[in-house]
Amino acid sequence: MQTIIAVMHDGIDETQIRRAGDILKEGGLVAFPTETVYGLGGNALDAQASAKIYAAKGRPSDNPLIVHIADWDAIYKIASEIPPEAKKLADAFWPGPLTMILKKSDAVPMATTGGLDTVAIRMPSNEVARALIRAGGGYVAAPSANTSGRPSPTCAAHVAQDLGGKIEMIIDGGNANIGLESTIVDLTEGKPTILRPGYINQEMLEQVLDEVEMDRGLISPDSNVHPKAPGMKYRHYAPKADLIIVEGEAARVREKINELVTENLAAGKKAGVIGTDESLLYYKEGDVRSIGSRKEEITIAQHLYSILRDFDESDISVIYSESFETPKIGQAIMNRLIKAAGHQIIKV
Ligand code: TXA
Ligand code: MG
């Protein structure tokens, strides 16, 4: 298949959006930019389109898709119960990087929800995304537009690497603003619960709803406690090289990483380092890269997935990363980084 690339760096191209909408209505797939990561879109109400999404990504079919909408009223068709909390969260954070889990209606096929009777719903703030959703009939199922097991794509080139030739169209809308997937909040059982941390953090949610819990599966050190979002149980991304996080006081972390890189070099192994703009000059050896600036934590989120993709292109055997316990989006950054590292953490 020839994948059409439609470039929209300066906003919406109506002709191309109409073409993309037609592809979705005919059951085809279009990758598109959102403020979090790129999505691989198909008509959420069409079981066959959902099946194509799973096939293109190589994704396990028990891992449900998020349904993207462009207008609040669209929710009534796909959710069978809409608690007052949903409206409150929508008023505060939609359009934006928040996904809510609600009870699904019969309009949503089980193929879209991975067999669950609940549905994940999100209204993205990216305008190209919302124009596409409207043009495509109003309901776009979209997981991140990567091959299952690879880092989520934060630019159109990442999408093309994984899905070029497998889908009808990629809309190139430039780099994602946030770089990490949306926060997921479950509103179907008891207290509102965060199933996946993201840019919208617990504190922000608690300003709107009094109490919001964190899924025990995310924070429990007990490996028998499973996360509630089916996708969170998978080790999202295993870089080709071993990834190890070094955690502790900044100067000691740098010292330890330098020591480990030297040891590897002595053993004939090349090592990579994930540092920051502030720490780069302290590293003397190895393939050292900056993930962003600690003074602007969003830059760290924006570059996490691309730095992991880039390291896969080089012949290093191990990557040492600093740890990022920054107060806001830091929890989401560490959630993704720890998964990529397969929980390998050295504390100094
Ligand atoms: O930012 C995002 O949310 C991006 C962009 C494209 O919007 N999408 C995204 O989709 O991250 P995906 O498929 O990569 O991740 C969806 C997550 C998975 O962990 C899945 O298990 C969970 O949402 N999920 C979906 N429906 C669910 C449901 N009904 N109950 C619990 N978890 C659900
Ligand atoms: Mg994903």
163-190: per-residue pLDDT in tens?
Answer: 999 999 999 999 999 999 999 999 999 8
Residue 61 pLDDT grade (very low, low, confident, very high; cuts 50, 70, 90): confident
Q: What's the confidence (pLDDT) of residue 31? A: 98
Give yes or no for residue 327 having a pLDDT over 80: no
CA distance 330 to 154: 18
Mean pLDDT of 25-46: 98
Structure tokens at 57: 């990504």
Of the ligands numbered here, which is closest to the C-alpha atom of 236?
Answer: 2
pLDDT above 70 covers a percentage of the chain that reads: 98
Give yes or no for residue 287 having a pLDDT over 80: yes
Instruction: Work out the widest C-alpha separation in the chain, in whole angstroms.
Output: 63
What's the whole-number average pLDDT of the chain?
95
Structure tokens at 100: 């809510």
State whether the beta carbon of 298 lies less than 6 angstroms from ligand 1.
no
Q: What's the confidence (pLDDT) of residue 225? A: 78
Q: What's the confidence (pLDDT) of residue 229? A: 85
Question: What spacing in Å lies between the alpha carbon of 64 and ligand 1's midpoint?
Answer: 7
Give yes or no for residue 220 having a pLDDT over 80: no
Q: What's the confidence (pLDDT) of residue 239? A: 85
Q: What's the confidence (pLDDT) of residue 190? A: 87
State whether the beta carbon of 316 lies less than 6 angstroms from ligand 1.
no
Mean pLDDT of 189-195: 94
Q: What's the confidence (pLDDT) of residue 232? A: 79
* Positive or negative torsion for Cα 246, 252, 258, 259: negative
Ligand 1 atom closest to Cα of residue 182? 1
Helix (H) or strand (E) holding 257: helix 250-266
Give yes or no for residue 139 having a pLDDT over 90: yes
Question: What spacing in Å lies between the alpha carbon of 225 and ligand 2's midpoint?
Answer: 21
State whether the beta carbon of 122 lies less than 6 angstroms from ligand 1.
yes
Mean pLDDT of 207-222: 86
State whether the beta carbon of 198 lies less than 6 angstroms from ligand 1.
no
Residue 224 pLDDT grade (very low, low, confident, very high; cuts 50, 70, 90): confident
Distances in Å between the Cα of 74 and the Cα atoms of 67, 173, 177 are: 11, 24, 25
pLDDT tens digits, 231-273: 877 666 778 899 999 999 999 999 999 999 999 999 999 999 9
Question: What spacing in Å lies between the alpha carbon of 31 and ligand 1's midpoint?
Answer: 15
Q: Calculate the CA 28 to chain-centre distance.
A: 22
Q: What's the confidence (pLDDT) of residue 203? A: 95
Of the ligands numbered here, which is closest to the C-alpha atom of 152?
Answer: 2
Q: Are strands 271-275 and 318-322 parallel, antiparallel or unpaired?
A: parallel
CA distance 14 to 132: 10
Ligand 1 atom closest to Cα of residue 198? 1
CA distance 61 to 114: 6
State whether the beta carbon of 6 lies less than 6 angstroms from ligand 1.
no
Residue 40: strand, helix, or coil: strand
Give yes or no for residue 79 having a pLDDT over 70: yes
Q: Residue whose CA is closest, atom 30 of ligand 1?
A: 229
Give yes or no for residue 331 having a pLDDT over 70: yes
CA distance 325 to 18: 43
CA distance 139 to 126: 15
DSSP string computed for 297-321: HHHHHHHHHHHHHHHHTS--SEEEE
**183-186: strand order across its sheet:** 4-7, 169-172, 30-32, 39-43, 140-141, 66-68, 118-122, 98-103, 183-186, 193-196, 213-214
Residue 125 pLDDT grade (very low, low, confident, very high; cuts 50, 70, 90): very high
Q: Are strands 318-322 and 287-290 parallel, antiparallel or unpaired?
A: unpaired
Give yes or no for residue 54 having a pLDDT over 80: yes
CA distance 218 to 338: 11
Q: What's the confidence (pLDDT) of residue 143? A: 98
Ligand 1 atom closest to Cα of residue 39? 6
Q: Residue whose CA is closest, atom 12 of ligand 1?
A: 143
Residue 48 pLDDT grade (very low, low, confident, very high; cuts 50, 70, 90): very high
Q: What's the confidence (pLDDT) of residue 235? A: 66
Q: What's the confidence (pLDDT) of residue 149? A: 87
Helix (H) or strand (E) holding 21: helix 14-25
